[in-house]
Structure 1
Amino acid sequence: MIVSPRQIRAARGLLGWTRTELADRAVLSVTTVADIERNDVNPRASTLSAVILTLEKAGIEFLRADASGKGEGVRLTRHDL
């Protein structure tokens, strides 16, 4: 699934995590997380996967856009922190 920088920022916001917290949990640098969120880089698949899996493990569900591109989002399904 393709996840947008907006979805990553929104997911982090729902969890109340800073960029540093996401970076630590995903075992990435804060600069990498910031670059992804600003859409300044085209991250490796493994890097993006680390971010997505970390957020999903924390209870985030990424919502796909419909065929017209509307409806992209995130949902907090549980909060196990």
Structure 2
Amino acid sequence: MQIFPEQCRAARGLLNWTQDRLASAAGVSRSTIKDFECHRHALQRGSEELVIRAFTRCGVELLFDTDGAGIGVRMEKAGNLPVAARS
């Protein structure tokens, strides 16, 4: 699975997370997040998995262009969200 910089920014927006907050939740450096979101470099596979896992733990679903509708993000239904994402 590949996350795009635009999805990363959008997912942070859904959660109202700063780059620092995402870096902390994913266990990566802030510069890794910043450089990725600014298209300076792609994420290493391990870092990418950590970022995706941080988002999915909080109920963010990454949407991919499988049907021609484009990429995006959305929140799971409120009843399905983990407790950490409800506060």
Q: Normalization by structure 2: what TM-score?
A: 0.83
| Equivalent residues of 1:59, 1:80 under 8 A apart | no
Following superposition, the deviation at residue 64 of structure 1 comes to 1.0
Structure 1 runs of 4+ aligned residues shifted over 4 Å read: none
Q: What is aligned with 1:64?
A: 64
Q: What is aligned with 1:73?
A: 72
Could you say what the CA RMSD is over the residues aligned between the two structures, in angstroms? 1.4
Following superposition, the deviation at residue 71 of structure 1 comes to 2.1
Of 5-14 and 41-50, deviating more is 41-50
The count of aligned residue pairs is: 80
Q: Distance in 2 between matches of 1:67 and 1:39?
A: 25
Q: How does 1:1-81 map to 2 (within 5 A)?
A: 1-66=1-66, 68=68, 70-77=69-76, 78=81, 79-81=85-87
Instruction: Name stretches of at least 5 consecutive residues in structure 1 with no aligned partner.
Output: none
Q: Distance in 1 between matches of 2:50 and 2:11?
A: 14
Aligned-residue identity in percent: 35
| Equivalent residues of 1:63, 1:75 under 8 A apart | yes
Q: Distance in 1 between matches of 2:40 and 2:65?
A: 22
Q: Distance in 2 between matches of 1:9 and 1:80?
A: 20
Q: Normalization by structure 1: what TM-score?
A: 0.88
Q: Distance in 2 between matches of 1:67 and 1:38?
A: 27
